[in-house]
Every structure is written in C-alpha cells, then in structure tokens.
C-alpha cells in the first residue's frame, strides 16, 4: 500500500517556459487569422501555445504533446497621432517643424518609405508622439504602393491627422489631378475600405502649404466644400465617395515652410487628445459603476416575512 501511494505521488520536473522577447507594439496572429494578443506595454506577456501535460499514473507516465503553432508577429507603431496623407502633402516637413524628428525630405513622391516618430514638446514638459507614416496612394486598401504596410500602423494611433496640400496634388503625369477636397474624400475612402472602424477615431484636418499663391482662396473653397460634403459628393466618381463623411472638429491651415499656424496646431493637438482622455475616463468610470451595481444584491422582506435577495433596480 505504501509502494502504490509512492507511485501515485511520482511527479517529474516541470518543463521550462520558452519566452521570446519582442518589442512593444507587436500584434500576434495565428494561422487562421485570429488575433492572439498584443504587446502594448513593457512587461506584458501573451501565451501563444500551451505545453503538454506531464506523465502520470493514468497515462502510464507518458507525457502529452503541447500545442504547435505558426504565428505571425506584426510590429505596429503606437503613437498619439498618425499623419495620414498622399505623397508630397508635406507630412515629413510638418513633423520636422512640430518636433525634433528628422525624416528624409525631398520634392518627389514616396519620400517616406518607413515610419518616423517625432515628439511634440510643450512648455510644461508634456510630450505628444506623432507618427509620419509612408504616403498612401489610391488603391492602398488593395495593398498597392506601401498598402497594408502603411494602413496597419494607422490602427495603432489614438487619433488621425489628415494632411492635404491646399492647392491639390498630382501623383504622376499619367494620374488625375486631385483637389484638396478630393484628397480628403479619397483618404477617407481608403481607410474605410481597409477597416471601417478606423473612421471612428478622432481626426484633425491640417491644410498645408499655405505659403503658396492663391492659398487663401483655395482654403475658403475647401472649407465651403467640407460644409456641403453630401451634396458635392454627387459630382465625384462613385468609387471615390465614402459611405460616411468625416466631420473634422478642427481644421487648421499651416505652412511647414514659414511656420504659419504651427503654434495653433500644437494647441489643437493637445486639446483634442485631452478631450479624448477625459471621455475615455468617464466612460470607464460609468462602466465600472454599472458592473458594481449589477453585483450588489438588495436584501428585502417578502409579504410572508421571509428575507430574500434581489438585484437592485436602479431605473
């Protein structure tokens, strides 16, 4: 009897966990496309495969195999704001003017081939991270150009900052000219086709290159068009029109070259982020309060003199 007990109590040494270090901003995806988890902060861990059970008396002391998985690791930026715009909208110049980042800048399309992050500094030492992402082109949602390499980074920013050239742009001689208004609609459409939830993020519209001739006239035209997006969309090609239109709370005209409007833009960025943080904090507080109310029972007396519990009716 003593021998049998000893056999039942036999246990082998536990296998060591295999941990793979990864940088913050990693998203882990399984073969079937299911998201296994994300690493958003230092010290976070995600279990991607379970080890097998050890041998026991019931399995004749044979261990079972653990899980085997192929996983994909995607590094996505984590920034407060992501600059969204077509090539040559002036995103890199804007980031340089707002922060201490030094992205490559030139007068040809596709200047930004990899993401750059700059820090916007405030007098009270507050810092806001802004990501300059590779320029979108039409059809990016179908992985044209930088395609998904650009769009996957947009998912990991708190807010979007649309940047358009006040005088419009033309990507190449064989592509159509797009006005600033058309650029806004095309950017919205590309984000919508990739992942519609992206348009739920707060967005700021920056109208760049206000130092160019006729910029004031073009700005007034754009502002009128944005106020009447639904009506004017009927004049655009059907494949350019998004399902829903973005209504920017802040539209800021700037010139990265001369510095025009940049102090105001910095103030708007901070105001917008603080508003979002306040809303999220209040939403979190309400959710916790509702959970607490659902958990607390009320003890009351029935007409038979017996005590019973029922949930609180807060309506």
Residues 25 and 142 in one domain: no
pLDDT digits (tens, 9 = 90+) for 120-156: 999 999 999 998 876 565 444 444 444 455 677 788 8
For the ranges 54-68, 144-158, 217-231, the lowest mean pLDDT is seen at 144-158
Q: Is residue 114 scored above 80 in pLDDT?
A: no
Tell me which residue has tokens 């025009």.
260
Task: Using a pLDDT cut of 70, give the percent of the chain over it.
Answer: 77
The pLDDT assigned to 140 comes to 41
Residues 86 and 120 in one domain: yes
Question: Could you list the residue range(s) of the whole structural domain that residue 173 is in?
Answer: 78-275
For the ranges 151-155, 206-210, 241-245, the lowest mean pLDDT is seen at 151-155
Element containing residue 203 per DSSP (H, E): strand 203-208
The pLDDT assigned to 271 comes to 96
Residues 4 and 87 in one domain: no
Q: Which residue has the higher pLDDT, 66 or 94?
A: 94
- Residue 91 is assigned to a structural domain of this protein: yes
- Residue 71 is assigned to a structural domain of this protein: yes
- SS3 category, 121: strand
The domain tally of the chain equals 2
Residues 212 and 70 in one domain: no
* Rounded CA Rg of the chain: 27
- Residue 37 is assigned to a structural domain of this protein: yes
Distances (CA, A) of 193 to 20, 30, 83, 138, 190: 34, 23, 18, 11, 5
CA atoms within 13 A on the CB side of 56: 6
How many residues comprise the chain?
315
List the structure tokens of 166. Answer: 């006040």
State the Cα angle at 166 between 255 and 232, rounded to 5°: 150
List the structure tokens of 247. Answer: 């209504």
- Residue 280 is assigned to a structural domain of this protein: no
Which of the four pLDDT bands, split at 50, 70 and 90, describes residue 62?
Answer: confident
The answer to whether 284 and 292 have CB atoms below 8 angstroms apart is no
pLDDT digits (tens, 9 = 90+) for 72-103: 887 766 789 999 888 888 888 999 999 876 65
Q: What is the CATH number of the domain that holds 132?
A: 3.40.50.300
CA dist., res. 283 & res. 277, Å (int): 10
Looking at residue 98, the DSSP 8-state letter turns out to be H
The answer to whether 183 and 169 have CB atoms below 8 angstroms apart is yes
Residues 254 and 178 in one domain: yes
- Residue 199 is assigned to a structural domain of this protein: yes
CA dist., res. 41 & res. 52, Å (int): 29
Residues 24 and 63 in one domain: yes
List the structure tokens of 294. Answer: 């659902």
CA dist., res. 170 & res. 164, Å (int): 12
- What is the overall mean pLDDT for the chain? 81
- Averaged pLDDT for residues 172-188: 88
Residues 45 and 101 in one domain: no
- Residue 170 is assigned to a structural domain of this protein: yes
Instruction: Name, of 37-51, 79-93, 255-269, 290-304, the range with top average pLDDT.
Output: 255-269
Residues 198 and 168 in one domain: yes
- SS3 category, 83: strand
Residues 65 and 113 in one domain: no
Q: Is residue 301 scored above 60 in pLDDT?
A: no
Closest by CA position to 141, among listed 242, 40, 38, 35: 242
CA dist., res. 119 & res. 103, Å (int): 13
Residue at a domain's end among 47, 75, 103: 75
Residues 117 and 204 in one domain: yes
Q: Is residue 113 scored above 80 in pLDDT?
A: no
Residues 257 and 235 in one domain: yes
Q: Which residue has the higher pLDDT, 75 or 70?
A: 70
Residues 19 and 87 in one domain: no
Q: Which residue has the higher pLDDT, 48 or 313?
A: 48
- Residue 145 is assigned to a structural domain of this protein: yes
- Residue 289 is assigned to a structural domain of this protein: no
């Amino acid at each position: 009897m003593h021998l049998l007990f000893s056999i039942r109590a036999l246990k082998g040494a536990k296998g060591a966990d295999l941990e793979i270090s990864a940088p913050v901003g990693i998203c882990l995806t399984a073969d079937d496309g299911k998201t296994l988890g994300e690493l958003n902060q230092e010290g976070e861990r995600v279990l991607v495969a379970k080890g097998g059970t050890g041998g026991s008396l019931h399995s004749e002391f044979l261990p079972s195999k653990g899980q085997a998985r192929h996983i994909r690791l995607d590094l996505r930026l984590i920034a407060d704001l992501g600059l969204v715009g077509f090539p040559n909208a002036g995103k890199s110049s804007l980031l340089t003017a707002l922060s201490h980042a030094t992205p490559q800048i030139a007068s040809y399309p596709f200047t930004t081939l990899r993401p750059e992050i700059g820090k916007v500094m405030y007098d009270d030492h507050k810092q806001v991270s802004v990501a300059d992402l590779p320029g979108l082109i039409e059809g990016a949602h179908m992985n044209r150009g930088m395609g998904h390499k650009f769009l996957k980074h947009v998912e990991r920013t708190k807010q979007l900052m649309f940047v358009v050239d006040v005088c419009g742009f033309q990507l190449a001689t064989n592509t159509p000219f797009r006005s600033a208004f058309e650029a806004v609609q095309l950017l919205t459409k590309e984000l919508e086709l990739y992942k519609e939830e992206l348009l739920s993020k707060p967005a700021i519209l920056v109208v760049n290159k206000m130092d160019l001739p006729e910029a004031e006239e073009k700005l007034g035209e754009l502002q009128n068009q944005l106020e009447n997006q639904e009506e004017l969309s009927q004049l655009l090609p059907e494949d350019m029109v998004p399902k829903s239109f973005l209504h920017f709370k802040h539209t800021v005209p700037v010139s990265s070259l001369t510095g025009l409007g940049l102090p105001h833009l910095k103030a708007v960025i901070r105001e917008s982020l603080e508003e979002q943080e306040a809303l999220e904090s209040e939403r979190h507080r309400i959710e916790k309060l509702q959970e607490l109310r659902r958990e607390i029972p009320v003890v009351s007396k029935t007409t038979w003199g017996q005590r019973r519990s029922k949930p609180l009716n807060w309506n």
